[in-house]
Amino acid sequence: MMQFDNFSSHILRYTEKYQKVSTILSRMYYMTVIIYIFTPFMDYALFKFTTQEMVGLPHILPSWSPLDGFSFVCYILSICYEVVSCTYCVFTHVAFDLTSIGIMIFICGQFAYLKYFSEKIGSKHEKCTPNTADLHAHDCVARSHKILIVLMKMTILLNQLLKNILGVYFFLATLTLCSVAVRLNSELSSMQLVSILQYMCGTLTQLYLYCRFGDNVKNESSIGMGEGPFIAAHWRLSPKIRKELTLLGAAMMMPRHLYAGPFISLDLPSFIMVVRTAYSYYAVIRK
């Protein structure tokens, strides 16, 4: 019963973590799309109020809009199309990001429980015979190997699905941050500055979450010498079971990496590298 209670606590722990990340990410995306949609109209109203000059009708997306010259109804239809496009894009991002990050959190939680489960091998059944303890420990080691293989396959499959997409995203995020640096060195209205800053913050937050939980997968998937099977109650077990514990510990010591593209590892140093690249570009063009 204690084992199932601990298992339930592990599930609740990483479920709560996912709920927190889901809430923060969803609110950030929804706030971003609201600001992005209303910024052109607020900027247009501010410009008309301050300059009293005729300017073109505002649009959400920077695209060619030939329908503006026909009628106001056509203009409203084009605005509705742009709103739907932005909203669809945001919901697609939310679904993809929450699914990817949720799987990373699940993998981290399962690796953490596997580490905890392997630490308890041999520590139960204090009054049982040595043969019974060995049989129970052997079953636990075999179960741990099966769980480890499943988690390894899941991590490899997730890496195959995200590798190319995140590689392109890292490239685009770097270009986005560099373009923001260029825009910050030009003349901007207050609303344009707000729009650019919130877009930059959204890009950095999204990039940080991927790198953060990719780094968590790497750290949780590997153990040190004082963790997992290495601190199990091996003194109660036979030499054969001790060898099995050693093999299990050796398998659990290998970290599992997620990648963004063929070369970039999905971890916090990669996030720092992107931020440094963007800041270096900003520092160069500012001179």
CB neighbour burial string for 14-39, b if at least 16 within 10 angstroms, e if fewer: beebbeebbeebeebbeebbebbbeb
pLDDT single digits (tens) 59-91: 777 777 776 677 778 888 888 888 888 888 888
Strands in 77-124 per DSSP E: none
pLDDT single digits (tens) 163-203: 999 988 888 888 888 887 777 777 766 767 777 777 788 88
DSSP classification of residue 189:
-
Q: Where are the domains of the chain?
A: 15-52+66-286
Token digits for 207? 């990039």
Q: What is the pLDDT of residue 79?
A: 84
Q: Is the pLDDT of residue 232 over 90?
A: no
Q: Rounded distance, CA 221 to CA 108, Å?
A: 7
Q: Which amino acid is at 100?
A: S
The torsion defined by the Cα of 208, 212, 213 and 219, in degrees rounded to 10, comes to 160
End-to-end CA distance of the chain: 66
Q: What is the pLDDT of residue 149?
A: 92
Q: Is the pLDDT of residue 125 over 70?
A: no
Q: Rounded distance, CA 47 to CA 40, Å?
A: 10
Q: What is the pLDDT of residue 99?
A: 92
Nearest to 221 by CA among 269, 271, 154, 140: 154
